[in-house]
Structure 1
Amino acid sequence: MARKPVLGRDLALDWLLGAFREDADLRPLRPGGIRRTDLDVVEDESNLAQAVFNRLKTRKGELAGLGHPDYGSRHHELMGEPNVERTRNLIKLYILQALRDEPRIEKVLRADVRADHDPPRETVRIELTIRPIGRQVPLNLVIPFMLEGGA
């Protein structure tokens, strides 16, 4: 009998804009460099990381028509706001609220929202350390977010 991943399994995604995790597409399975028509999968910590990125890249309410009105995050409401401490604190609050709804997260150990530059420009860096359910080793994630331009 195959082992069931504790943190789930899903289709793997490739993001066209890399670190910004925008414009996702399904990742084909390419064993040995040969292009195949099968789709790749992610499981356990990799699946949880992908799920967190998806949750945070989705505006809260965006999936209401599909029956998931509370899925996503409100930090997108802050686009256009200045990159100041107040804005970064609101981003952190909205991120923590969104992660509270992820059942595979036992605890958020650290959530920091930092300006990438001094003086601050439009990009902030969201640094997360989370403890997945049933795991001792924490998962570290870094997610950039642009307050201007929509990425």
Structure 2
Amino acid sequence: MRAPQLLTDIAIDVHHRELRPVYRINTQRKWVLGGEALALDMATISDRDNLGQAIIIRLLTPRGELAALGHPQYGSRLHEIVGRTNTASTRDLARLYILESLQQEARIDTIESVAITPSPGRRSSIDVSIDVRPLGAVETLTIGPIVLEI
């Protein structure tokens, strides 16, 4: 059985390991038909890579941010833990908010694991690693570790 299509989107470049909106659209320089001019072309990303990127964007977007566009449940509540002390209960809350957000993604069959640990040497950060199994896939997709400032 062929795995369902996991879609194609514009590719973003991750410029930092931190989970924060510091991404840029991935562009490539291409010669325009006839070779008279150089133009920028947006790169695309597909399948498993697209799902990984979509998960990061979903986690970065505060829940309710897209309500005016008809997507009130899109996003996560991770922004609600910013400013809290890095304790076991805060890390548990981060894990809960990530699980809530991932359950909204229709292309995920199973959430295999969400690991949250204190960032070594950084009191106000946590490391997040996520393993999911896309619909119709046998292998898991790993996102992270990424750093979340709290």
**TM-score bucket (shorter structure):** 0.7 to 0.9
Alignment of 1:99-138 (within 5 A): 99-117=102-120, 121-138=123-140
**Structure that is richer in strand per residue:** 2
Q: Which residue in 2 is equivalent to 1:11?
A: 10
Aligned residues, how many? 139
* Alpha carbons 1:130, 1:139 under 8 Å: kept: yes
Q: TM-score, normalised by structure 1?
A: 0.85
User: Paired residue for 2:33?
Assistant: none
Q: Is the 8 A contact 1:26 1:39 kept in 2?
A: yes
Secondary structure, aligned partner of 1:134: coil
State the partner residue of 1:84: 87
Question: Whose Rg is larger?
Answer: 2
Consecutive unaligned residues in structure 1, runs of 5 or more: none
Residue 5 of structure 1 contacts residue 43 of structure 1 at CA under 8 Å; is this kept in 2?
no
Identity of aligned residues (%): 35
In the alignment, structure 1 residue 62 sits paired with structure 2 residue 62: no
Query: CA separation in 2, counterparts of 1:81 and 1:9?
Result: 36
1:48 is matched with 51
Counterpart check, 1:139 vs 2:141: yes
Aligned Cα root-mean-square deviation (Å): 1.9
1:30 Cα deviation from its structure 2 partner = 4.3
Unaligned runs of 5+ in 2: 31-37
Partner deviation per Cα, 1:13-58 (whole Å, 9 max, x = no partner): 124x421252322211247xxx742110000111000000000000
The separation in 2 between residues aligned to 1:26 and 1:116, in whole angstroms, is 28
> Normalised by the size of structure 2, how large is the TM-score?
0.85
Give every structure 1 segment of 4 or more consecutive aligned residues whose post-TM-superposition deviation is greater than 4 Å.
Answer: none
Q: Which letter does structure 1 place at the counterpart of 2:49? A: S
Q: Quick check: 2:64–2:75 contact (8 Å CA) kept in 1?
A: yes
